[in-house]
Chain A
Amino acid sequence: MAEPQQQPEDDAQRIETARDSLLVERVLRGDADAYGELVARHMRRAFSIAWRILEHREDAEDVVQDAFLRALERMDRLDPKRPFRPWFYRIVMNQALNFRRSRRVRATQPMHDDLAATTLSPERDAENTLLRGRLRTALAQLPERQRTIVQLADLEGLNSNEIAEMLELSAGTVRWHLHQARHALRELLQLPGEVR
């Protein structure tokens, strides 16, 4: 039953990948408009990935900018046969992790400032804070790799092949980690088993 839905998704992704490849080709020739389009296509997802690691809006914005510049520097090294998206998100993730490491060393930036800055009612706000706290505690108990994979898959909507490209793992290994992470989170959050 899942097949008919999977096929159009795959086709759409192939079209997106082909479009990215064309833009990359133009960027390699110094085409500023192509670069602008590439940025527009990927900056939201890039911000989201960076924010999940940093939980700070401005830091995440800076990381996105740095990641796009780093990608431009390294674009010659991108294998034309490989898709741009996972390659670029890997750069975003590495930049964000490096940023977080340096921030820990400096220890000057407050963490989670965006999480506190909500404008909901006090009851709803308290409920959300509780939810976030529960989830963060549960996520923190996962091994780093499983935490990253479950965030990329279930929050960013990347498929296992893309995550595999990003993390340089096999797709099977990604699916296995994803399964383990979900299982662990369900237990930690005391949620019912997987819905099939």
Chain B
Amino acid sequence: MNRKLDAYDNGESPHDALRHDDPLGNELHGASQPPMDDVDWMALHARIRRAAEPALAARAQALAETARPLAGIAASSNVWQPLAGWSPFGIPLAAAATVILMIGAARVGTEPVRRSDTGSFRTIEEEFVIGLGGNAAPLVAGIGSEDMLDAVLFYDGEDWQP
């Protein structure tokens, strides 16, 4: 049966409509015709429309009720109207500020953070004490920062005499 159905799906046979000269078509049409001329079509049409009026009105009303909140949103958008006047200036300014911020953030992000071990700045004397070890500490004790700096910067190879 499936093979037969496939054949009909391909439109091989039979044709949808009977030919006009087909005896079966003549028989069917000749013997069984609805009384179309006896129906008052205008009255039937009016009757159907009248009966449908409440349902149609309910549909229209439901649609209007759905549309009302949307209309409220549209009305409240008037609040934004004055701000909208600034948009020709505001939008380019905001865009420029964003670009500047992004470039700044990118630069900060790429530079290494320099910090001391203790997380704070040290004086030159402190650096010496740490650098020379604990035994050198008495050597520099009591020397001012300026003398210490001269000794470092202008060292000529001779022993230093305070």
Spell out A's residues near B (CB within 8 Å): 2, 27-32, 35-36, 39-40, 43-44, 47-48, 51-52, 57, 60-61, 64-65, 68-69, 72-73, 114, 117, 128, 131-132, 134-136, 150, 153-155, 157, 159-160, 170-173, 175-176, 178-179, 182, 185-186, 189, 191-192, 194-195
Contact: A176 with B28, CB < 8 Å?
A: no
Q: Which residues of A contact B48 (CB under 8 A)?
A: 39, 43, 64-65, 68-69
B8 and A176 contact, CB distance less than 8 A = yes
Chain B residues lying within 8 Å of A132, measured Cβ to Cβ, are 31-32
B12 CB, nearest partner CB in chain A, Å:
9
Query: How distant is the Cα of A195 from the Cα of B49 in the complex, in angstroms?
Result: 44
Is the contact region of chain B dominated by helix, strand, or loop, or is it mixed?
helix
Q: When the two chains form their complex, are residues A72 and B24 in contact, meaning their CB atoms are under 8 A apart?
A: no
Q: How large is the interface on B (under 10, 10 to 19, 20 to 34, 35 or more residues)?
A: 35 or more
Q: For A28, what are the chain B residues with a Cβ–Cβ distance below 8 Å?
A: 59
A-B contact pairs, 11 of them (CB 8 A): A27-B59, A30-B58, A39-B48, A43-B45, A47-B44, A72-B56, A114-B38, A128-B31, A131-B31, A171-B8, A191-B27
Contact of B34 with A195 in the complex, beta carbons under 8 Å = no
The 8 A-B pairs with the shortest beta carbon distances in the complex, nearest first, are A30-B60, A30-B59, A172-B9, A175-B8, A51-B34, A131-B31, A172-B5, A135-B31
B15 sits at the interface (CB 8 A): yes
Shortest distance between the CB of B49 and any CB in chain A (Å): 5
Could you say which of B5, B15, B52, B56 contacts A2, with CB atoms under 8 Å apart?
B15
The answer to whether A185 and B24 touch (CB under 8 A), given A44-B41, A61-B44, is: yes
Residues of B bordering A, CB below 8 Å = 1, 4-6, 8-9, 13-19, 21-25, 27-32, 34-36, 38-39, 41, 44-45, 47-49, 51-53, 55-63
How far, in angstroms, from A48 to B58 measured CA to CA in the complex? 30
Given contacts A32-B56, A48-B36, contact A134 B31 (CB under 8 A): yes
Measured between alpha carbons, how far is A118 from B110 in the docked complex, in Å? 101
A51–B52 Cα gap in the complex (Å)? Answer: 22
Bound state CA distance, A65 and B28, in angstroms? Answer: 27
Chain A residues whose C-beta falls within 8 Å of the C-beta of B36 in the assembled complex = 44, 47-48
Chain B residues within 8 Å of A57, by CB = 34-35, 38-39
Q: Are A65 and B51 in contact (CB under 8 A)?
A: yes
Interface pair B44/A172, CB less than 8 Å apart:
no
Tell me, in angstroms, the Cα distance from A89 to B114 when the chains sit together: 85
A65 CA to B58 CA, complexed, in Å: 19
